[in-house]
């Protein structure tokens, strides 16, 4: 492949957005994935696309909640018993990010990635005939206690400081906004000015088709290893063939770490697994993305039914899904939406690629000429993908940029 070509490993939403932005800069793209584009982690998320999801997971005081969350059988956080040896160092790094100063610093970096997400999705979808896959939405954080929501808490304060329009509403207004929601919810914080995906998997499929129509090559193969070639480029070993590449963007989600390890690079990337249940014949609808703040689950009406997604389960990426999550999420969905008809339930598990500071790795991988990172988007990959693509494309097109990549470097830990 020529100097003006880039091979992207991983055609999740991040790899696909990198492909589109590279093509816009006149660079030929080859995408390699073992599966169909956009059908792994990027398929089953909650669909929240927000300029205001600028709050990292490690916030001040989080340490106080962790034991309670771990001990609860129905809580959002679980650690697989065999994962503890990896969990402890990751968890300590996570806690080190949780001062207010650090959270604010991270929030600024998240802002850079999230702020243009809605506009960039609309630009990418324009002309595909599927512009309706992203719709305007509020993000409704629903509380069971009327006196709990306050805009004075640090997370809402940080959002407001960045320009988010937030409103606290009571039970009556909540009922009018989301009639299907249980009357147990007594108040909500409504985050305005954002969007949601009505089918994250379809967005991946449509945008990958757009990239292919514009000349991207798609190779369906599993990458088994990376090594330097004799001419200073790269050899990509796949299950089918060996590919030559001058420049590689590694966008293989949580599996990126496995491909870096033989090169002597160890990154603290954990598989923070999440689940969804989807009810194709739910019999109820929601107008917005709605979070049950106690259960930490997000419900949304999607093209294929009502989807309820959540859970943070730290485990090996390829460990089997925990079947108990299906019953738990279904029960939580019914508590949120009492008239929901559970009927047929589609159950899904995906792996958030999570660094301890909630930020992805984007940029040149140190001491690996021609190898670039675009992975580690944890809870925010759908919304951060388009700007990630823009940053990667500017970098590879040698465009001058006023964006510092320091916060996103692979060796920052």
Footprint of ligand FAD (CB under 6 A): 10-15, 32-35, 40-42, 45-48, 222-223, 251-253, 255, 274-276, 309, 350, 352-353, 375, 377-383
Q: What is the DSSP letter of 246?
A: S
Give the residue with the Cβ less far from ligand FAD, 171 or 347.
347
CB of 221 to ligand FAD, least distance (A): 7
Count of other CB atoms within 10 angstroms of residue 70:
11
Instruction: Tell me, rounded to whole angstroms, the distance of Cα 305 from its chain centroid.
Output: 21
Count of other CB atoms within 10 angstroms of residue 316:
14
Give the residue with the Cβ less far from ligand FAD, 254 or 340.
254
Euclidean distance between CA atoms 5 and 8, whole angstroms: 10
Euclidean distance between CA atoms 91 and 75, whole angstroms: 18
Give the residue with the Cβ less far from ligand FAD, 356 or 381.
381
CB of 36 to ligand FAD, least distance (A): 8
Joined together, the tokens standing for residue 60 give 């001040």
Give the residue with the Cβ less far from ligand FAD, 18 or 59.
18
The answer to whether the Cα torsion of 175, 179, 184, 187 is positive or negative is negative
DSSP 150-172: -TTSHHHHHHHHTT--EEEEEHH
Give the residue with the Cβ less far from ligand FAD, 164 or 309.
309
Euclidean distance between CA atoms 19 and 207, whole angstroms: 9
Give the residue with the Cβ less far from ligand FAD, 99 or 240.
240
Give the residue with the Cβ less far from ligand FAD, 176 or 196.
196
CB of 117 to ligand FAD, least distance (A): 8
CB of 87 to ligand FAD, least distance (A): 18
* H/E run at residue 208: helix 200-213
Euclidean distance between CA atoms 348 and 42, whole angstroms: 12
CB of 32 to ligand FAD, least distance (A): 6
CB of 400 to ligand FAD, least distance (A): 27
CB of 364 to ligand FAD, least distance (A): 18
Residue 172, classified by CB atoms within 10 Å of its CB into exposed (0-12), middle (13-18) or buried (19+), is exposed
Give the residue with the Cβ less far from ligand FAD, 4 or 235.
235
The residues, ordered by sequence, that sit 6+ positions from 229 with a Cβ below 8 Å of its Cβ are 235, 244
CB of 390 to ligand FAD, least distance (A): 15
| Cα 134-214-49 angle, rounded to 5 deg | 20
> Largest alpha-carbon pair distance within the chain?
69
């Amino acid at each position: 492949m020529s100097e003006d070509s880039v091979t992207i490993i991983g055609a999740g939403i991040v790899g696909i957005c990198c492909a589109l932005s590279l093509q816009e800069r006149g660079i030929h793209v080859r995408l390699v994935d073992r599966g169909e584009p956009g059908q792994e982690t990027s398929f089953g998320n909650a669909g929240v696309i927000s300029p205001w999801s600028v709050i990292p997971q490690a916030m001040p005081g989080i340490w106080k909640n962790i034991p309670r969350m771990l001990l609860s059988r129905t809580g959002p956080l679980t650690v697989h018993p065999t994962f503890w040896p990896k969990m402890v160092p990751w968890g300590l790094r996570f806690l080190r990010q949780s001062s207010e100063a650090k959270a604010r610093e991270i929030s600024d970096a998240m802002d850079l990635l999230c702020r243009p997400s809605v506009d960039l999705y609309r630009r990418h979808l324009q002309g595909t005939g599927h512009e309706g896959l992203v719709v305007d939405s509020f993000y409704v954080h629903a509380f069971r206690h009327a006196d709990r929501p306050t805009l004075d808490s640090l997370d809402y304060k940080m959002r407001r400081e960045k320009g988010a329009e937030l409103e606290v509403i009571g039970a009556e207004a909540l009922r009018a906004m989301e009639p299907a929601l249980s009357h147990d919810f007594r108040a909500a914080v409504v985050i305005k000015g954002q969007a949601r995906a009505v089918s994250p998997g379809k967005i991946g499929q449509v945008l990958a088709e757009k990239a292919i129509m514009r000349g991207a090559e798609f190779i369906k193969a599993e990458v088994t290893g990376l090594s330097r070639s004799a001419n200073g480029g790269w050899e990509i070993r796949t299950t089918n063939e060996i590919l030559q590449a001058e420049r590689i963007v590694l966008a293989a989600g949580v599996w990126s770490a496995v491909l870096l390890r033989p090169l002597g690079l160890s990154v603290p990337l954990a598989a923070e697994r999440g689940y969804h249940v989807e009810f194709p014949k739910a019999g109820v609808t929601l107008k917005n993305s709605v979070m049950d703040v106690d259960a930490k689950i997000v419900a949304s009406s999607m093209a294929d039914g009502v989807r309820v997604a959540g859970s943070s389960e730290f485990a090996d990426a390829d460990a089997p899904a925990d079947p108990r999550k299906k019953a738990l999420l279904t029960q939580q969905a019914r508590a949120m939406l009492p008239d929901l008809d559970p009927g047929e339930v589609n159950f899904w598990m995906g792996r958030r690629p999570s660094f301890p500071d909630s930020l992805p790795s984007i940029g040149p991988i140190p001491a690996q000429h021609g190898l670039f990172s675009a992975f580690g988007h944890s809870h925010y990959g759908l919304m951060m993908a388009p700007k990630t693509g823009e940053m990667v494309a500017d970098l590879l097109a040698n465009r001058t940029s006023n964006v510092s990549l320091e916060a996103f470097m692979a060796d920052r830990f």
